[in-house]
Structure 1
Amino acid sequence: MTIEKHTKTKIKICGLRRREDILAVNEAKPDYCGFIIEFPRSFRSITADKARELVRELSPKIRAVGVFVNAPMELVRDLLNDGTLALAQLHGQEDESYIRELKKTVEKPVIKAFSVKTKEDIEKAILSPADYILLDQGGGGTGKTFDWTLIPEIRREFFLAGGLGTENLRQAIREIRPYAVDLSSSVETDKWKDPEKIRQVVDIVKKSV
């Protein structure tokens, strides 16, 4: 399994759920796109079969990420091993044993999301056996940031999520230097992905130094 070296901040657009979303990201060309799979509490959730259908139309240059919340390991494993997903993102209470067990049976990277409220939360995240960590204010696409001053100089690759948009993306990249930024609600209009907003944020990230 290859973990990419951090040279320039990458971008992930999360919460895709219809063909129009795929066409929008194929045009904008983010590095990653995310699908929330089998989590009915989220209005962005889709079924595993819908994810397979959408990924078939996704540009091969964009890596598909499945977002799971306390999902059965077989579901995660099947979608990674059948070629639907390039990465799995775990957003629930999956513990270290779950992550280690999953990594034994898949050859693709695993991202573990952590809700950040204190420095201790970040210290815990840094110790995760996942390939990447994701730092968020609590998840769920609420559009809120957390206190970025809590983030120390982290020597491992991490995704930054929570409240990122056109007004603060440049600052986040310049000050925090995450491996990748992760956006969802800020690229929506009336809870649907907005192609123009997606283009704007991808353009900002690609032009950031």
Structure 2
Amino acid sequence: MSKLKICGLKTEADVEIINETQPDYCGFIVDYPKSKRSLDPNEACRLAEKVLKTVKTVAVFVDEPMETVVKTMASFDMAQLHGNESERYIEELKKRTGKLVIKAVIPKNSADVEYFCKTKADYLLFDAGKGEGRAFNWEILKNVRPSRKYFLAGGLNEGNIGSALDALDPYAIDVSSGAESDGKKDYSKVRRITEFLKSNQERRNDDDRV
């Protein structure tokens, strides 16, 4: 079953939705003013600590100073790096925090995908941009080797998640704007996406038994 990450939480109401629907991961964007979902590091930590322990919390950073990231990670389970962080940066962050790292990348073609798969990050996240909510050509991911676990992001919503799962086999689906209505996280959408992923897996299991 592909796991689910709901990203871009900003309020206590968002946290309540997460605690009730129980996706596998939830993400908070930290100190990135270009995003309307950005939070001050202290506020991000405060909200993350209200998330039930059954849901892994992810702090999303974009070219943030190492010291800020290390300090913030005391309140989070995983870090997601969405900028131009180097492999040396990734190694140092893992060493200093002991936390898992997701490296977000924007592939343009299959050669890009092959190159990014060499990262020392624990997971990759393939996206079309830095939270713009756009989809990209999923075909270029078809040859990602099974040992390289990745999150699939970029314009995913109730209408196209099924197509993404039919085309690919991502470790996790990452949804942000697709789980919102009027710019706010929507409980009904999060619940339906969660239930869809569960039912899709049950269907695949039934097909495997035939």
Common fold, TM-score beyond 0.5?
yes
Is residue 186 from structure 1 mapped to residue 178 from structure 2 by the alignment? Answer: yes
Question: Counterpart of 1:197 in 2: which secondary structure?
Answer: helix
CA RMSD of the aligned region, Å? 1.1
1:14 Cα offset (Å): 0.2
Is residue 99 from structure 1 mapped to residue 90 from structure 2 by the alignment? Answer: yes
- Structure 1 stretches lacking a partner, 5+ long: 1-7
Structure 1 Cα separation of the partners of residues 196 and 118 of structure 2 = 31
1:29 Cα offset (Å): 0.7
Contact 2:114 2:144 survives alignment (8 Å): no
| 1:23-51 C-alpha deviation (Å, 9 max, x unpaired) | 01111110000000011111100011111
1:125 Cα offset (Å): 1.2
Contact 2:26 2:55 survives alignment (8 Å): yes
Is residue 144 from structure 1 mapped to residue 137 from structure 2 by the alignment? Answer: no
Contact 2:138 2:167 survives alignment (8 Å): no
1:29 counterpart letter in structure 2:
Q
Structure 1 Cα separation of the partners of residues 126 and 166 of structure 2 = 17
Contact 1:116 1:138 survives alignment (8 Å): no
Aligned CA distance change for structure 1 residues 153 and 92 (closer, same or farther; 3 Å): closer
| 1:25-79 C-alpha deviation (Å, 9 max, x unpaired) | 1111100000000111111000111112112221110110000000011121122
2:36 alignment partner in structure 1: 43
The partner residue of 1:114 within 105, 111, 115 is 105
1:200 alignment partner in structure 2: 192
Contact 1:114 1:121 survives alignment (8 Å): no
The partner residue of 2:169 within 172, 177, 200 is 177
What percent identity do the matched residue pairs reach? 42
User: Where does structure 1 differ by over 6 angstroms across 4 or more consecutive aligned residues?
Assistant: none
Structure 2 Cα separation of the partners of residues 55 and 143 of structure 1 = 23
1:147 Cα offset (Å): 0.5
State the TM-score, normalized to the length of structure 1.
0.91
The partner residue of 1:34 within 27, 32, 37 is 27
The partner residue of 2:9 within 13, 16, 24 is 16
Aligned residues: 199
Is residue 65 from structure 1 mapped to residue 55 from structure 2 by the alignment? Answer: no
- Structure 2 stretches lacking a partner, 5+ long: 202-210
Structure with greater proportional helix content: 2
1:134 alignment partner in structure 2: 125
Contact 2:28 2:59 survives alignment (8 Å): yes
2:136 counterpart letter in structure 1:
F
2:48 counterpart letter in structure 1:
V
Query: Which deviates further from its counterpart, 61-70 or 173-182?
Result: 173-182
2:46 alignment partner in structure 1: 53
Is residue 166 from structure 1 mapped to residue 147 from structure 2 by the alignment? Answer: no
| 1:114-163 C-alpha deviation (Å, 9 max, x unpaired) | 002111221121011101000011222x2221111101142311000001
Structure 1 Cα separation of the partners of residues 41 and 195 of structure 2 = 30
